[in-house]
Structure 1
Amino acid sequence: MVAHFLKLKLTLLGNTLRRSVWQTIGLCVALLYALFVVVGLVFTAIVGGGMDLLLTGQVITLAGAITVLCWWVIPVFVFGVDQTLDPQRFTTFAIPRRTLVAGLALSGVISVPGLATTLAAGGTAFAWWREPWLIPVALLGAVLGIALCVVGSRAVTTVLAPLLESRRYREVVAVAAIVPLVLIGPAIGWASQEIGAVSHETNGGSVTADGSLLAAVLARFGELAAWTPFGAPWSLPVAVHDGAWGVALARFLVAVGTLALLWLIWSRSLARALVTPPAGGGKGSKSKGLGWFGRFPATPVGAVAARCTTYWIRDPRYAAGISIIFLMPVILWLPTRSSGNAELLLLAAPVVSWVLAFSVSNDIGYDYTAFALHVATGTSGRADRWGRALPVLTFGSGVVVIVALLTLALAGRWDLTVPLLGVCLGLLGLTLGVSSAVSATLVYPVAKPGESPLKSPQGAALATMLSQFLAMAVVMLLALPLLGVGVWALVSGSVLAGWLTLAVGLAEGSLLLVAGIRVGARSFDRRAPELLQEVQSFP
């Protein structure tokens, strides 16, 4: 039965590639890139094993721990778990739960990240070629590490999925999911303190030619990571090499125990999801009046703007982005406590500007079949583009200004108020213009309305990465003049440069916003039926 899952996954993947030439090209590019990275990692590990075996083992332990952590965390923020084999589709089949979980776990390896992780983990085991008897131990640790990656990723997203489908809990869960990002700052500060402590313990803080400081630092962090569920499986050959059989057994039990616990959590969560599938709606809330439709003008632009504003407030798929916006000052404030570089806080407002404006780059994809209303009613491209941009301009400008003033107060750099506002407002306008043009040309699958925000539709990851990469590249290219003037104002401290940054930001932002909306409107009027056909064909 498990073999049938693997065959089904390969068949669905092949059908997806035959249906879309761009997905085939994207997969080939991703495979080539992954192969290049894997070959580089394996070659580095083998060379390092020939030079310093224990140091290489510590590096592999740290890299493996980071890999497992990324497998658990990244799906929550970015693409979700690949739902090519959606468990809900097997509800009517009498498949034993153990078989279903095993089949889904093995099929999770058949993807670009899964294959890359498997090849890298297996290849780095040969870093112990100077001690061949340790290679089987390293391979055993690699298998446990890969299992922790796949099973842990599935367990985390399966547990969080029903919570994020509920409007009552989505804000809380979205904020909780950002906690790992918030901890980046304290982690960097703690790491700096550890490195400083080790530098004073090793040769009075001087880095010798043989890299004794680096080795001591890696040994300390490697030892800490080895006792966590993330790094335990990768540290087995290090412990066995040192003859610490009791330590090796303890770390093996940590890895196996964590894997068993994750398997149990995933299995029970999956069983509950199959027996009680997510409801499409829920208890409706009592509302008075027309809501946002009564606050915007009674025009086509106002109607589209009111509907998009309602999306921002009530659609759980937007919750993660909103939570990141409000936590961005906190995320950047924590590293400044250890580095003392208060100016780092000033990056929060430009990032918020970019996130808000870029959020409408796939609004048609989020509409799904509701986009048929725009086509059926003959909504013009101008009304659609301006209607989607208006909520971001109306509310986003206020949010950006508030974040900018907050970070200026925390950094104590009120002298940079004018250039910072110029960069933020200019970046908001030009990014919104690019998003308005891109969203009428490129659409890609996203979670459907009512589905979990963590769910990634079949074949969506590659299309998402390619579309967002192209759009971000265009934004960065167009923002170079504005960023150049802004950096000049920051470095020189000139009042004239500050006001010039504000003027350039407002002028460039307004010009590119209008130009982007016009380009998007023409593309919308020309391709509206094709866009509807594309979103209706999303898996």
Structure 2
Amino acid sequence: MVAHLLALRFLVLKNSLARSVWQLVGFVIGALYGLGVVALIVVGLIALSGAPAEISRTVVILAGSALILGWVIIPLLTTGIDQTLDPSRLVTFPIPLNRLVVGLAVAGMLGIPGILSLIASIATAGTWWQQPLIAIVAALCGIVGVVIAVVASRMINALSAGLTSNRRFREASGLLIFIPLILLGPIILFVTSGLRDAAGALPSFAEGLSWSPLGAIWAVPSAVAEGSVGGALARLAIALATIVVLWVIWRWALGQALISPARDSSKTRARGKLGFFNLFPGTPTGAVAARSLTYWLRDPRHSRQLIIVPLLPVLLGFYTVNTGNAGLLNASGPLVAFFLAFSIYSDISYDGTAFSTHLSAGLRGAADRTGRVLALAVFAVPLTLIVVIVSLAITDSWTFLPAILGISIGVLLSGFGLSSVTSARITVPVPEPGDNPFKSPPGSGFGTALATFATWGIMILLVLPELVIGIVAFATGDLLWGWATLLVGIVLGALFLVLGIRIGGRDLDARGPDLLSQLKKAR
């Protein structure tokens, strides 16, 4: 049974990669990137062999504890990304519970994250390569450490089955992980500064972790090297007891989840409450705008793109404070406009097979394009204006208002037009409704990134005139150039918007059935 589950896992991965050459290329690139990171870790661990024993011990314990903690926390935030052996899908099969637990544990260790973790953990032996017996102990302890990580991760998943089956929990957890990713730069600087200031306390912190379930197993080799056999055995006992406790809790929680699997709840809306459909005119364009705006508020796959609106000014403000360059914060408006305008560049991909309702209704492509742009413009235009005004108020740079406003409006309107064309021509793999917003088929990220960067390049060419005039306005401080930037941004932006809606509408009329076929294949 264990071998069958492993074969099933790799078969699903193989079939996923066989769907598209780009998925395969992206998977290979991702795997090579992961191996590159692991290679750096291995080199670092070997280099620790020449460092003082206290430093080596501290680094290994802290890194090992972080590895286990990562296995516990990340699945909670990214639930739904890997559902290859989701226990809820195995409910109908008569698999003995003990065999299922072992199979899931081994499958977790032999997945891509598990294999990379095993390589990095076993490489702790490199820190003790000059003492072969201790190196062997370190390698074995590394394997035990990964077992703790995998079992803890599976236990948390099983215990949270009731929560993760709830759509709103999956959506919220998926969005939460996006915030630290955007603020990664300031976080790294803050942590680095904190570690530099508290470097003297790290050995004591590592000593405390060495007696906890997180760090006990990683402290065994150093304890043996110091001749503290009792300390090594005590920490090994803590690690083994941790596995036993985690295993028992996981087995119980998994059994409960298989006996009474959680279901998504549903609710009924009162009659006559049409939401945004009451606010827009009863036309095809109005219907599309109302539907799209409803998706923006209720579908996290759309709304996750709005997280960057408040976070981007915060990020640029942080660097402004550290560098003293007010231009960074003043760039918030154009950058927010850029990301907002591109939030619909693959909009039809999020419709999925529901796009068939547009085709069956005989909806004109121009009405579809216009409706989607109107829905986005309802909040994108006010948000862009607010960011521009607030950023200039903070930096007291009102003389640049016409230039920055012109660039922002030009970027926003031109982006609307370009997105209207690309979303009628490009379909990309996206999460299914109700899934984690970050879920994607293996390797799909490369093709999506390639299409995104190509579209960004076209966008830069479209807004180049107002950018050049705006740069002249910034360099000279002449208001005349600033007003010229505003005029060019409005005129060219409106022109590209109209052209984009017409071209995109025409493409949609011609390629609608082909797009629907591509969407069905991507499921």
Structures share a fold, TM > 0.5? yes
TM-score of the aligned structures, taking structure 2 as reference length: 0.77
Which deviates the most, 276-285 or 183-192?
Answer: 183-192
Q: Structure 1: how far apart are the matches of 2:468 and 2:206?
A: 41
Does the alignment pair 1:471 with 2:448? no
Partner of 1:373: 357
User: Partner amino acid for 1:466?
Assistant: G
Q: Which moved more, 1:524-533 or 1:108-117?
A: 108-117
Shift of the alpha carbon at 1:7? 0.9
Show the counterpart of 1:453: 436
Deviation at 1:471?
0.4
Q: Which moved more, 1:269-278 or 1:490-499?
A: 490-499
Q: Give the structure 2 partner of residue 209 of structure 1.
A: none
Contact 1:174 1:323 in 2 (8 A): no
Matching residue's letter, 1:18: A
Question: Residues 171 and 435 of structure 2 are in contact (CA less than 8 Å); yes or no, is this contact kept in structure 1?
Answer: no
Indicate the larger mover: 370-379 or 494-503.
Answer: 494-503
CA drift at 1:92: 0.9
Distance 1:83 1:239, change over 3 A: same
CA distance in 2, matches of 1:498, 1:516: 26
Q: 1:528 aligns with which of 508, 512, 515?
A: 512
Q: How far apart in 2 are the matches of 1:346 and 1:524?
A: 37
CA distance in 2, matches of 1:161, 1:419: 52
Distance 1:415 1:375, change over 3 A: same
| Cα distance between partner residues in 1 of 2:437 and 2:152 | 14
Shift of residue 127, structure 1, vs aligned partner: 3.6
Does the 8 Å contact 1:430/1:479 carry over to 2? no
Please give the residue correspondences for 1:210-221 in structure 2 after superposition, counting only pairs within 5 Å: none
1:379-405 Cα offsets, whole Å, 9 max, x none, are 333333333232112212222333444
Number of aligned residues: 519
AA in 2 matched with 1:468: A
Query: 1:409-448 counterparts in 2 under 5 A?
Result: 417-418=401-402, 420-422=404-406, 424-448=408-432
Aligned residues: percent identity? 39
SS at match of 2:443: helix
User: Once the 2 structures are TM-superposed, how far is the Cα of residue 147 of structure 1 from its aligned partner?
Assistant: 3.9
| CA separation of 1:87 and 1:170: change in aligned 2, threshold 3 A | closer
Q: Which amino acid aligns with 1:360?
A: I
Q: Distance in 1 between matches of 2:505 and 2:127?
A: 56
Query: In 1, distance between residues paired with 2:495 and 2:76?
Result: 36
The residue identity in structure 2 corresponding to 1:388 is: R
In structure 2, what is the equivalent of residue 310 of structure 1? 294
- Aligned equivalents of 2:151, 2:319: Cα separation in 1: 32
Q: Give deviations 1:490-518, integer Å, cap 9, x for gaps.
A: 78877567656656655665565556555
Separation in structure 1 between the aligned mates of residue 216 and residue 485 of structure 2, nearest angstrom: 51
Distance between the aligned counterparts of 1:62 and 1:226, measured in 2?
9
Say if 1:37 and 1:323 are closer, same or farther in 2 by CA, change over 3 A: closer
One-letter identity of the residue aligned with 1:372: S
Q: Is the 8 A contact 2:17 2:443 kept in 1?
A: no
Change (3 A) 1:114 1:173: closer
2:190 is matched with 189
Q: Cα RMSD (Å) of the superposition?
A: 4.7
Distance 1:385 1:218 in 2: 57
Question: What is the CA–CA distance in structure 2 between the aligned matches of 1:271 and 1:420, rounded to whole Å?
Answer: 60
1:3 partner SS = helix
1:382 equivalent to 2:383? Answer no
* Contact 1:162-1:452 at 8 Å conserved across structures: no
Q: CA deviation at 1:230?
A: 6.2
Listed one character per residue, the Cα deviations across residues 467-507 of structure 1 (whole Å, up to 9, x for unaligned) are 13430454167438577877887788775676566566556
Q: 1:471 to 1:168 in 2, by over 3 A?
A: closer
SS in 2 for 1:9: helix
For 1:462, the equivalent position in structure 2 comes to 443
In structure 2, the residue matched to 1:213 is: none
Pairing of 1:179-328 with structure 2 (within 5 A) = 188-189=189-190, 191-196=192-197, 234=218, 236-238=220-222, 240-242=224-226, 270-277=254-261, 279=263, 282-286=266-270, 288-318=272-302, 320-323=304-307, 325-326=309-310
Q: How high is the TM-score relative to the length of structure 1?
A: 0.75
Tell me, yes or no, if the aligned pair for 1:232 and 1:251 is still in contact at 8 Å. yes
How has the CA–CA distance of structure 1 residues 470 and 132 changed in structure 2, closer, same or farther, with 3 Å as cutoff?
farther
| Alpha-carbon contact 1:79-1:461 (below 8 Å) kept | no
Paired residues of 1:79 and 1:454 also in contact (CA < 8 A): no
* Aligned residue in 1 for 2:17: 17
Query: Counterparts of 1:92 and 1:437 in 2: how far apart (Å)?
Result: 45
2:422/2:504 contact within 8 Å kept: yes
Alpha-carbon distance, 1:143 to partner: 2.5
Q: Distance in 1 between matches of 2:488 and 2:389?
A: 20
Q: 2:375 is matched with which residue?
A: 391
Counterpart mapping for 1:19-38 below 5 A: 19-38=19-38
Single out whichever of 398-407 and 303-312 deviates more from structure 2. 398-407
Q: Which amino acid aligns with 1:106?
A: V
In structure 2, the CA distance between the partners of 1:93 and 1:42, relative to structure 1 (3 Å rule), is same
Counterpart-to-counterpart distance in 2, 1:421 and 1:246: 70
CA contact (8 A) 2:81 2:436 kept: no
Distance in 2, matches of 1:483 and 1:77, equals 39
Q: How far 1:5 moved relative to its partner?
A: 0.6
* 1:394/1:181 CA distance change after superposition, 3 Å: same
What residue in structure 2 maps to residue 83 of structure 1?
Answer: 83
Give the Cα–Cα distance (whole angstroms) in 2 for the partners of residues 348 and 156 of structure 1.
39
Q: Which consecutive residues of structure 2, in runs of 5 or more, have no partner in the other structure?
A: none
**Cα distance, 1:339 vs structure 2:** 8.4
Residue 6 of structure 1: how far off its partner (Å): 0.2
1:202-236 deviation digits (Å, cap 9, x = unpaired): xxxxxxxxxxxxxx698688678878876665555
| Match of residue 130 from structure 1 | 130
> What amino acid does structure 2 have at the position aligned with 1:397?
V
